[in-house]
Structure formats: structure tokens, C-alpha cells
Amino acid sequence: MSNVKRLKVIERLLSEAEGYLERGDAIQSSEKLYKSAEECVKALAERLGLEEVKVAEEKGKWTVTLLEKAVGKLVNKLDVGVRLAWDAANYLHVWGFHETKLDVEAVKIRTPAMESLVKTTRKTLASHCSQ
């Protein structure tokens, strides 16, 4: 998937999450925020040439283990904000979506971390495209 296309998917997921929050749907918002973070990690890993991309291609899919390994490397290459956003995304995925234990406020307080990750992704893709 091209960077432009992936960024559009990420932006759409973030927008959908915000729409669900406005309607009071913490469950779907949680999942959309998680998916946006997942797509950010994939995009960053691809752009920075991490080996996890090749492994995911060989397996035909990204696994949680590969995503986690990629996040660890992204923290070293970018900043700790990637880890904080990824951890928040996983929390939303498990407790907000699968376990349905989070309310709208619990999702809202984690949304800025996702927005920051999207911003980092946009900036990183843009800066590495111009090199």
C-alpha cells in the first residue's frame, strides 16, 4: 500500500473513531483508534525499513508479536511517544473493544496519544519521502 493511501486509511479510521465517540459508542471508537495505531506502526516500519515488514510479508500477515517488535525499534528510531500510543491502543483494543469495559471518557483520554502517533507518522513519511 502506498504511503498516501495508508495515510488516508489512518485519517479515515481516526475520523470514524471521533464520530463514534460523538455518538457515545466507546466500543467501536476503541477499535478504530487501535486500527489507526496499527496502520501507523506498519507505515512507519515500512518507511524505516524494519525487518519485521519482510517477516510479515513472508507470513502473509502482521502478528501482534511483529507489531510489538516493530514498536520497540520505532521507539529507538523516533521517540517514546510511539510506545505510549501503542500501549494506549492495545489497552483500548482489549478493554474497550473485546472486554467492553471502557466508557467514552476512558476512550477520550487516550485519543490524544493516537492523534500524536498519526502526526508522527505523517511527519516521518513526509520527511523520508523527500530524501
Residue-wise pLDDT for 51-66, tens only, equals 999 999 999 999 999 9
Please state the separation of Cα 46 from the chain's center in Å.
14
pLDDT for residue 101 is more than 50: yes
CB-facing half-sphere around the CA of 70: CA atoms within 13 A? 27
- Residue 45: which of 11, 73, 7 has the closest Cα? 73
pLDDT digits (tens, 9 = 90+) for 39-96: 999 999 999 999 999 999 999 999 999 999 999 999 999 999 999 999 999 999 999 9
- Domain boundaries in the chain? 3-119
Q: What kind of architecture, by CATH, is found in domain 3-119?
A: Up-down Bundle (1.20)
CB within 8 A of 83, min separation 6: which ones? 71, 72, 75
